[in-house]
Amino acid sequence: MNEDLSFCPFHRPLEDTCGGCLAFISSARKIKEEGDKLNKDVDHLKKLKKILKVKLANLEGTLYNLTKHTLIQEGQLPNSYVKKHALNEYLLKLPLPSNFFAILKDKELSMSFLLQVGAIESRRSCHCGRDMALILRDREEKYEFECYCGASESLIERTIWEPAHLTQENILLYIFLWAMNMRDKEIIHLLGISSYDAKYCDITLRKIISNYYIKNLPKFKGIVEIDESCFRSSNSSTSRNVKFGQNSPEKWVFGLYERESKRVYMEVVPKRTAQHLIPIIQKRCEVGTTIISDQWAAYNKLPEYGFPHFTVDHSRFFVNPHNREIHTQHIEISWCWAKYDIKRHHRHLNNMQDYLNVFCWKRQFKNSHKLSEVGDTMKALFEVLSEYQKEGKIMEKKIAEALLVE
């Protein structure tokens, strides 16, 4: 029996038989138990109050952001407010001039352009799980992503451009000059960037474009010209590389040209035999496609695979004298441009398939007007980069391997 619950010293020896003591002790115990229960309920409610307070704050913040976003979308807030409190939305809706050089010269316009075309993602999540806000450091005139938790990241951090350490202006300029087919050493001189940064950007764009071109290349149809050509290295150290198995002095390439779309495809092949060439035709051409070639023996069995086949005797004619449509002049011209382009950028033949894929991808824009050729190339390039950013960095390992080789 607890001493603090016994208040009858005269009946203490008889407290087990004293009805008054037993009633008092029983009542005191019930009061104590109810008090303990109430204390637990109070503690629970205090904790619940804190949780609900946090939830209320989050819901109020979400409501505020939704309301603000709606007002921004409907144009009910002044640009000055949007720029200060929602820089991301402001830049995404900022009207851009048609003059590309005006965009290049203005920091705000160039940032807006990169976000709008998807070259840099407009949304970013912090490691804590919250959304990061785009801000402008006024003193440094530098765009960054900042989180409510205090973390901040540079514009190019966690993007494909991070290893190159380029500014947003230089990223845009590099893409523009690359689309114009300018060589790396010329870009290095114009932008004042390192050779590593230029090489990284070139390999990155080349890998992304190469992967996109192969993945989205439709099957050829109609009339297709085919041919093979030998590409030779212009590297003076070729013999040394061959000795160590690093390179080859020459590579054979098989090419296809679709007359209707003027699309071209080229693939490095180990040999010019039917065993290597016909599977490529089957993979890249629809059954029933009319094939035109020279009289190379590897093509003799094409009709057996469902491809009507016409030839021109190159030992005597460039064009079949019986039918002026039977010739391979388009693919022959494509060889000239491909060899010229690759020799300008590439002294050796490592990763040659990527160069060929990029050449074929760029070649499709040669059919447009000269004044719009660069613009069409840039537009398509930014669409590819935007798609790549959404899919994620799936080729980092390939880019790293290419850097080591080149």
Q: 256 phi and psi, to 5 degrees?
A: -130, 140
**Nearest residue to 193 (alpha-carbon basis) of 216, 174, 211:** 174
**Which pTM was predicted?**
0.71
Domains and CATH numbers, the chain: 3-60 (no CATH), 85-159 (no CATH), 191-405 (3.30.420.10)
Q: Over the chain, what is the mean pLDDT?
A: 80
Q: What is the DSSP letter of 253?
A: E
Q: What is the pLDDT of residue 347?
A: 65
Contact (Cβ atoms closer than 8 angstroms) between residue 318 and residue 329: yes
First to last CA, the chain: 89
Residue 331 buriedness (CB in 10 A; 0-12 / 13-18 / 19+): buried
Quick one: pLDDT at residue 305? Answer: 94
Return the percentage of the chain with pLDDT > 90, whole number.
28
Higher pLDDT, 236 or 33: 33
312 DSSP 8-state letter: -
213-262: per-residue pLDDT in tens?
999 999 999 999 999 999 987 654 444 444 434 456 789 999 999 999 89
Helix (H) or strand (E) holding 182: none
